[in-house]
């Protein structure tokens, strides 16, 4: 066999490297699909777990607020037993709130910051109302069961927590969501200033 007949065969071998073989391409594609499936499945599981955690946080905060009413509605005929019962239940809720703070710092730091602010406000307002409730005599009849305590200042801090939760769970990057809110918020504020009615000018009659 002459050298001239070997040249085309060598060129054909170079033109078809091993890594373009159909079997190799199929294996690479299968591997990429498997990795993508693992990533998507893992993220979905993490989001589901964190969604439950974020909901439990609000539930335990609401449970803490309920003690404002529980303390005031305690039984008057068993003060020592009621004090032990309510204190034990309140301590259990407090432990959950402190645990949430630690877990959120690992899972979602920005959500943890919003939660800590909400928790401080809740303990300041609701905690003060609980303390005042212990200093108030226990009710003795059904006509005193209605408790008039204003806890609405706590509600002003919940939207910040919910916004951070939404940013964390969204598939859209949080930085883009915050940027869009800043743009739309500024636009709404400008429109509000443009359409705000001017105070009518009153002209005093000349006497």
pTM: 0.70
User: Over its length of 207 residues, how does the chain's per-residue pLDDT go in tens digits?
Assistant: 555 554 454 444 455 565 567 766 776 777 777 676 666 565 677 778 889 999 999 999 999 999 999 999 999 898 899 999 999 999 999 999 999 999 999 999 999 999 999 999 999 999 999 999 999 988 888 777 778 888 999 999 999 999 999 999 988 888 888 888 888 875 555 555 554 454 444 444 444
Q: CA quadruple 21, 22, 27, 33: dihedral positive or negative?
A: positive
Do 138 and 76 contact (CB within 8 A), yes or no? yes
Q: Report the candidate in 163, 154, 165 with the shortest Cα–Cα distance to residue 52.
A: 165
């Amino acid at each position: 066999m002459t050298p001239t007949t070997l040249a085309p065969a060598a060129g054909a071998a170079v033109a078809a490297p091993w890594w373009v073989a159909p079997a190799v391409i199929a294996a690479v594609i299968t591997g990429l699909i498997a990795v993508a499936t693992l990533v998507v499945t893992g993220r979905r599981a993490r989001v589901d777990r964190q969604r439950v955690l974020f909901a439990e946080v609000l539930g335990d905060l609401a449970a803490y607020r309920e003690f404002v009413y529980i303390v005031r509605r305690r039984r008057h005929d068993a003060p020592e037993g009621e004090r032990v019962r309510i204190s034990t239940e309140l301590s259990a809720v407090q432990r959950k709130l402190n645990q949430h703070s630690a877990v959120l710092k690992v899972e979602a730091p920005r959500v943890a910051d919003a939660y800590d602010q909400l928790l401080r406000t809740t303990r300041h307002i609701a905690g003060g109302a609980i303390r005042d409730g212990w200093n108030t005599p226990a009710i003795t009849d059904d006509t005193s069961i209605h408790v008039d305590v204003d806890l609405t200042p706590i509600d002003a801090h919940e939207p910040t927590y919910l916004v951070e939760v939404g940013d964390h769970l969204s598939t859209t990057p949080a930085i883009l969501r915050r940027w869009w809110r800043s743009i739309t918020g500024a636009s709404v504020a400008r429109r509000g200033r443009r359409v705000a009615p001017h105070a009518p000018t009153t002209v005093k009659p000349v006497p």
